[in-house]
Amino acid sequence: MSDFLAEYYSWTKAFHIMSVIAWMAGLFYLPRLFVYHAEAVEAGSETDQLFQTMERKLLRLIMNPSMIATWIFGLALVFTPGIVDWSMVWPWTKAAAVLAMTWFHHWLGLRRKDFAAGQNLRTGRQYRMMNELPTILMLVVVLSVVVKF
């Protein structure tokens, strides 16, 4: 198996990067949709239904598959011989940030269900603040992998 992973390392890395880009796009955009949904949309209105459709499709059709692909290709990279040196700090900081991104993804999924049930309790400002989290986590991941601190 390790021969296979080593042979297809470049392909695995390319698909990992593409899936991360798609996932991050959703992690950036869904909280922004929540900002507008919370601030300018009346529950039960036609616009509310439109926002719910956009949020559901973004989560189910783009974010969920890209998160799964990110994990699959990322774990394939982890198991590729010679790629990760667990005695260094960077794989641990990257792993922590990826786990935090995964938690954030699921948190967004729960907030989408709140909107769908007409039970959103958060303000646009709160969603704006949460919208900064994926940027911070992305910085940790990129610096971890590129600088290898």
Residue range 29-87, pLDDT digits in tens = 999 999 999 999 998 999 999 999 999 999 999 999 999 999 999 999 999 999 999 99
Percent of the chain, pLDDT > 90? 96
Find the DSSP H helices in the chain. 2-7, 9-40, 46-57, 64-78, 90-116, 124-130, 133-147
CA gap 104, 85 in Å, rounded: 27
Looking at beta carbons, which pairs linking 87-90 to residues 24 or more positions away fall under 8 Å? 88/148, 89/144, 89/149, 90/144, 90/145, 90/147, 90/148, 90/149
pLDDT confidence of residue 149: 79
- pLDDT at 1 > cutoff 90: no
CA gap 75, 98 in Å, rounded: 12
pLDDT in tens, 93-148: 999 999 999 999 999 999 999 999 999 999 999 999 999 999 999 999 999 999 99
Cβ 149 vs Cβ 90: under 8 Å = yes
CA gap 130, 105 in Å, rounded: 11
Q: What's the pTM?
A: 0.94
